[in-house]
Amino acid sequence: MNKDQDINPRVLNHISASEGALSQQVYLSIKNAILGMEFRPGQNLRKALICDQLGVSRAPVAEAITRLASEGLVDVVPQSGTRISYFSMPEIQEGVFLREALELAVVRKVTRHLTEDQGRILNRSMRLQTLLVEDDDISGFYEADEAFHELLMSFTGFDRVADVAQTVSLQVSRARRLLLPTPGRIVESLEEHRAIVDAILARNEQDAQDAMRRHLGQLMPRIELLHERMPELFNRATSEGREIA
Amino acid sequence: MNKDQDINPRVLNHISASEGALSQQVYLSIKNAILGMEFRPGQNLRKALICDQLGVSRAPVAEAITRLASEGLVDVVPQSGTRISYFSMPEIQEGVFLREALELAVVRKVTRHLTEDQGRILNRSMRLQTLLVEDDDISGFYEADEAFHELLMSFTGFDRVADVAQTVSLQVSRARRLLLPTPGRIVESLEEHRAIVDAILARNEQDAQDAMRRHLGQLMPRIELLHERMPELFNRATSEGREIA
DNA sequence: CTTATCATTCTAACATGTTAGTTGACAAGC
DNA sequence: GCTTGTCAACTAACATGTTAGAATGATAAG
C-alpha cells in the first residue's frame, strides 16, 4: 500500500563538525530538506533512521521535530508518527496575508525614516539585481530577491522582524521554490523592486506601499497555478477545514 | 549575594488531571506564571524544583522551556542556567510594531469583507464593553478588550493570525499587566473601540486604520512610564544591544 | 465477500542516567 | 589589594531505557 511513503534520510546534510548545538544542526538539516522538497508532503519521518543517518541520539532529533511542528512544516500525530505536512491553500493564503501585513508596515516605516546610508545600500542592491537579470542568472536573482526584502526589514532597526516574516510564511517559501522562475518573471520582479525603491527614495509612503502590494500580489496567482498543476502536494480540506491524511 | 534569585515554584498551577500532553501543561503552567509576573525577570528557573513541584520528569519540562525560550520569555544559557528574561524596550517596541502591522492589516481586510453577521457581533461586543465600563468593572473590561481584538482577527477567516499576534507581542502583554488600568483609561479605550467599529461599519478603510492606529498608539507611552517607574524589570542594553545579566 | 475483533508492531511521549561546559569561590602569586 | 589559576558544584545538553497509545493486518464471525 505505502510504496515510498517513508523517507530516505540520505538527503540529509551530514552534521558538520562545526560549532553549534546538536539539536540546532539537526533542526536545520531537516528543515532544509523539507524546504528543498527533498522530503515530500505526506512522507513520514522516521526518527530512528534520522538518528542513524546523523549519528545522534533521539533527544536532539525530538527537539528539532518539536520546533518543526510548531512552524507547521511537519504534523506530529501522538503515539503514531510524524509526517511532512501537505500544502494547504488556506494556510498559504494566511501566510501571504501575514507576510504582506509585515512588508507593508516595514515599507511604511523605512520610507519615513530612511537615512542616506540606507538609500545608498538600496541603490547598490538594485544595481546588483540589474546585473543578475542582465546575465539571466535566475538562481542568483532569487537570492538577491530574498536579500532585498531582508534588507528592507533590517532598515527598521528591529531584529526579529525578518525572522517573524520568514516563520509566518514558511509554507509560502516552500511552495515558492516549486515556481520555476522564468527570465520573464525576474525582469518583472526587478521592475517591481525598482518601483518600490523609487517610491522609498522619493519619500512617498503611499506609493511605496502600493508598489510593495503590487509586487507581493504577483505571488498568489502563481501558487494557484501550482495548485492546479500539482494537486497531489496539497491536502484535501474537509468542510471544517480539518486535514485528511 | 543572590538573595531571592531563585524561583519559588509554589506558584505553579498544579498539573490538572485533565487531558492534554504533559509537556503542554507544564508549558502553560510556567508561561502563566511568567506572564502573571509571579516569576520576576532575572530569577532563574530550576528544573529540578519544577520537576518536584509538578511531579513530572525533566523531559517535558525541558521541552516546555525550549518553547518558552523560542518565545523570548526565558533566556537559556547553555550548560549554565535558565533565567526569566528581563523586559527590554527595543524588544517591546518591536512587539508593538509587529502587533500594529497585523492589526492594521486585519482592520483593512475586515472592513473590506464585513458580513452582516459580523457587524451584529461587533455591535454586541460594544454593548458588552459599554456595560462593563458603566459598572467600572476594570478586569472584566480588560478581558472584553482582548476578546474584541481577537474577534476582529477571527473575522479575517484566518486561524493563525490571533496566535501570531499574541506570540509576537508576548513581552508587550507581560508589561501590559503591570499597567494598572484606571477607570479613565477604560473609558478612553471604549471610545477608541467605538471609533474603530464605526469606521468598519461605515466601510471606511482609511478611518478604520487610523482609529486602530490611534488606539494602539496609547500603549507605548504608558509602557515608557512603566520603564521609568520600575527600571529594575528592564535590562540595561550595551552598545551592541546585547543584554547584561 | 464483508465486517468485527484482536494481537502484533509500530510510534511519540515520558523517565532517567551520563556528559561536558559554565560559574563562582577560594587560594596562590604579584 | 589585585590578579590569576585551580577546582568543586551546578546546569543544560545529550544518550538511552520504558511506557502507553495508535495503526496495521491477520483471523474469525456473519
* pLDDT of B235: 84
Q: Which of the 8 DSSP states describes residue B9?
A: G
> What is the rounded (10 degree) CA torsion for B32, B35, B40, B41?
130
Count of helix runs (H) and strand runs (E) in chain A: 11, 3
Tell me the torsion sign for CA atoms B162, B165, B169, B172. Answer: negative
* pLDDT of B1: 40
Nearest CB to B164 within list A156, A161, A168? A168
C-alpha distance from B111 to closest chain A C-alpha (Å): 15
C-alpha distance from B102 to closest chain A C-alpha (Å): 6
- Numbered ranges of CATH 1.20.120.530 in chain B: 89-231
* pLDDT of A182: 84
Residues 6+ apart with CB under 8 A from A95: A168, A169, A170, A171, A172
Q: Helices B58-70 & A58-70, crossing angle to 10 degrees?
A: 40
Nucleotides of C under 7 A from a protein CB: 10-17, 20-23, 25
Q: Which of the 8 DSSP states describes residue B237?
A: B
The series of mean pLDDT values per 10 residues for chain B, 245 residues long, is 55 61 92 94 91 92 95 93 95 98 98 98 98 94 96 97 97 93 90 98 98 97 96 71 45
Give yes or no for CB of A104 within 7 Å of strand D. no
Give yes or no for CB of B20 within 7 Å of strand D. no
* pLDDT of B180: 80
Report the alpha-carbon distance of residue A101 to residue A38 in Å, rounded: 30
CA angle A106, B154, A216 (to 5 degrees): 35
Residue of A nearest to B162 (CA): A98
Mind listing the pLDDT tens digit for each residue in B46-94? 988 999 989 999 999 999 999 999 999 999 999 899 999 999 999 999 9
Q: How far is the CA of B219 from the C1' of C9 (A)?
A: 57
* pLDDT of A21: 82
* pLDDT of A244: 47
Q: Is B150 exposed, middle or buried (0-12, 13-18, 19+ CB in 10 A)?
A: middle
Report the alpha-carbon distance of residue B144 to residue B126 in Å, rounded: 9
Residues 6+ apart with CB under 8 A from B214: B192, B195
User: 3-state class of A242 per DSSP?
Assistant: coil
- Numbered ranges of CATH 1.10.10.10 in chain A: 9-84
Q: Return the residue matching grid coordinates 479575517.
A: B156
CATH number for the segment(s) A89-231: 1.20.120.530
Closest by CA to A60, choosing from A8, A18, A15, is A15
Cell of A82: 510524524
Q: Helices B89-113 & B205-217, crossing angle to 10 degrees?
A: 160
* pLDDT of A183: 82
Mind listing the pLDDT tens digit for each residue in A179-225? 987 889 999 999 999 999 999 999 999 999 999 999 999 999 999 99
Report the side by side order of strands in the sheet with A81-84: A44-45, A81-84, A74-77
User: 3-state class of A58 per DSSP?
Assistant: helix
Asked if A45 and A83 count as a contact pair (C-beta separation under 8 A), the reply is: yes
C-alpha distance from A43 to closest chain B C-alpha (Å): 24
A76 φ, ψ to 5°?
A: -105, 125
Give yes or no for CB of B78 within 7 Å of strand D. yes
CATH number for the segment(s) B9-84: 1.10.10.10
Residue of A nearest to B67 (CA): A67
Asked if A40 and A11 count as a contact pair (C-beta separation under 8 A), the reply is: no
Partner-chain contact A104 B109, CB within 8 Å: no
* pLDDT of B181: 77
Nearest CB to A94 within list B67, B78, B158? B158
Give yes or no for CB of B43 within 7 Å of strand D. no
Low-confidence spans in chain A with pLDDT less than 50: 1-3, 17, 238-242, 244-245
Containing A82, the helix (H) or strand (E) segment is: strand A81-84
Q: Return the residue matching grid coordinates 462593563.
A: B132
* pLDDT of A3: 39
